[in-house]
Structure 1
C-alpha cells in the first residue's frame, strides 16, 4: 500500500523508531495519528514535524488499557476521516535478568505492552481497515521474537507471540483488502532501555557490547519498515544483524542460541 494520501496510526510515536516512522510518513504525504503514553514526547514529535504538523494528530493513550484503546478509532476518524493503516510499534524491553530473578510485575508489564497492546490495537482498528479499499497492518516483532536472548526471555516470548499473531492475521486476511507485514528489527539506536525503565550494565560492559553490535539508526529502520509496507512484504528484517541471525537460526537453532549467548552474557548479572 502506497502511503501517500493515506491515514496511518503509529503507536509509540513519541520517540525512537515510532517517531521516525511518523516523520517519514508525513514527508511521504501521509496523514498520521501518533499514539503514545507520554504527552511531552508526542509534543516533541509535533515540533519536529514542522510545517507538516497539520497532517498529524496526537493521542495520549496507554495501549495496555482496553477501554482507552477502544476509544481511539473514533478519535482518529473524527480528526482524519478514516484509517488506512496501523503500525503497532510501541514496545518495551525487560530488565536484563534471568526469569528466576524477574518479578511478576515486570513480567506482566512486558507482556501487556508488547503482546496485549498489539492485540488490543489490532482488534479495535481492524474493522476500520476492512472498510477501506486498500489497507495495511504492520506489527513490529523483534529479532528476539525468533532468536532466544538470555536476560530477555519474557520480552522474547512476547515478541514471538506478536510474530505468530501477525502471521495468523496474514492468513485470515488473505481474501480481504488488508495486507499484513511482520517486522523483525535487530539492534536499533534508540532509548528503549531508558523508556522501559531498564538500567543496563556497567559503562565498561555497555561499551564492550556496543563494540560488538553496531546499532542501526532509527531513521534507517523506519525507512526499511515503510518500504516493506509499501511493497506489501510478508516479513521485513531490519538490520544486518537481524538478517544474519535469521539465516543462522534457520540453519541451526542451537548454534544460533549459543552464539547470541556469547554476545550477550556480559549484560546478565552474576
Structure 2
C-alpha cells in the first residue's frame, strides 16, 4: 500500500521508532494519527513535524486500556475522515532480570503493553480497515521475538506472541483488502530503556542510544515504510536482525547459546 494520501495510526508516536515513523510518513504525504501515553513527547513530535503538522493529529492513549482504545477509531476518523493503516509500534522492555527475580506486576505490564496493547488496537481498528479499498496493519515484534535473550525472557515471550498473532492475522485476512506485515527490529538508537522504567543495564552492555552498531530510528522508519509500500510479509530491521534470523533458522540451539555467551553477565548479577 502506497502511503501517500493515506491515514495511518502509529502507536508509540512520541519517541524512538514511533516518532521517526510519524515524521517519515508525513514527508511521504500521509496523514498521521500519533498515539502515545506521554502527552509531552507527543507535543514534541508535533513540533518536529513543522509545516506538515496540519496533517497530524495527536492522541494521548494508554493502549492497555481497552475502553480508551475502543474509543480511539472515532477520534481518528473525526480528525481525518477515514483510517487506512495501523502501525502497532508501542512497546517496553523488562528489567534485566531472570524470570525468578521478576515480580508479577512487571510480568503483567510487559505482556499488557507489548501483546495485549497490540491486540486491542488491532481489534479496534480492523472493522474500519476492512471497509477501505486497501489497508495495512503493521505489528512491530523484535529480534527477541525469535531469539531468546537472557534477562529479557518475558519481553521476548510477548514479542513472540506478537509475531504469531501477526502471522495468524495475515492468514485470516489473505482474501481481504487488508495486508499485514510483521517487523523484527534489531538494535535501534532509541530511549526504550528509560521509557520502560528500566534504571539499570547489565554489566558489559550499553544503552542502544550509544551502541555504535545500532541503527538510527530514522533509517528503521524508512525500512518499515518501504516494507508497507512493498506489501512485505516480514521486515527485518538492521544487519543484526538479519544475521540472527538466519542463524536461528539454521541452528536455533547454537543461536541460543551464542546469545547466552554474549549476555551471560545478566545471570551473574
User: Quick check: TM above 0.5?
Assistant: yes
Partner of 1:79: helix, strand, or coil?
Answer: helix
Partner of 1:205: helix, strand, or coil?
Answer: coil
* Residue ranges of structure 2 left out of the alignment (5+ in a row): none
The residue aligned with 1:252 is 251
- Give the aligned CA root-mean-square deviation in angstroms: 1.6
The residue aligned with 2:226 is 227
- Hey, what's the Cα distance between the residues in 1 that align with 2:261 and 2:17? 27
Partner of 2:32: helix, strand, or coil?
Answer: strand
- Hey, what's the Cα distance between the residues in 1 that align with 2:210 and 2:131? 48
Q: Is the 8 A contact 1:187 1:213 kept in 2?
A: no
Q: Is the 8 A contact 1:200 1:206 kept in 2?
A: no
Q: Deviations along 1:130-154, whole A, 9 cap, x unmatched?
A: 0000100000000000000000000
Q: Deviations along 1:50-91, whole A, 9 cap, x unmatched?
A: 000000000000000000000000000001000000000000
Shift of residue 206, structure 1, vs aligned partner:
3.2
Structure 1 residue 68 corresponds to structure 2 residue 68: yes
Partner of 1:20: helix, strand, or coil?
Answer: helix
- Hey, what's the Cα distance between the residues in 2 that align with 1:230 and 1:34? 19
Aligned counterparts, 1:1-270, within 5 A:
1-201=1-201, 205-207=204-206, 214-270=213-269
Shift of residue 242, structure 1, vs aligned partner:
0.3
Structure 1 stretches of at least 4 aligned residues deviating more than 4 Å after TM superposition? 207-213
Q: Is the 8 A contact 2:191 2:208 kept in 1?
A: no
* Residue ranges of structure 1 left out of the alignment (5+ in a row): none
User: Residue 105 and residue 121 in structure 1: after superposition, are their counterparts in 2 closer, same or farther (change >3 A)?
Assistant: same
- Hey, what's the Cα distance between the residues in 1 that align with 2:207 and 2:229? 37
Normalised TM-score (structure 2): 0.97
Shift of residue 267, structure 1, vs aligned partner:
3.9
- Hey, what's the Cα distance between the residues in 2 that align with 1:7 and 1:216? 27
- Hey, what's the Cα distance between the residues in 2 that align with 1:211 and 1:94? 19
User: Residue 78 and residue 101 in structure 1: after superposition, are their counterparts in 2 closer, same or farther (change >3 A)?
Assistant: same
- Hey, what's the Cα distance between the residues in 1 that align with 2:148 and 2:71? 36
Partner of 1:165: helix, strand, or coil?
Answer: helix
Shift of residue 261, structure 1, vs aligned partner:
1.0
Q: Deviations along 1:165-206, whole A, 9 cap, x unmatched?
A: 00000000000000000000001110000000002336x633
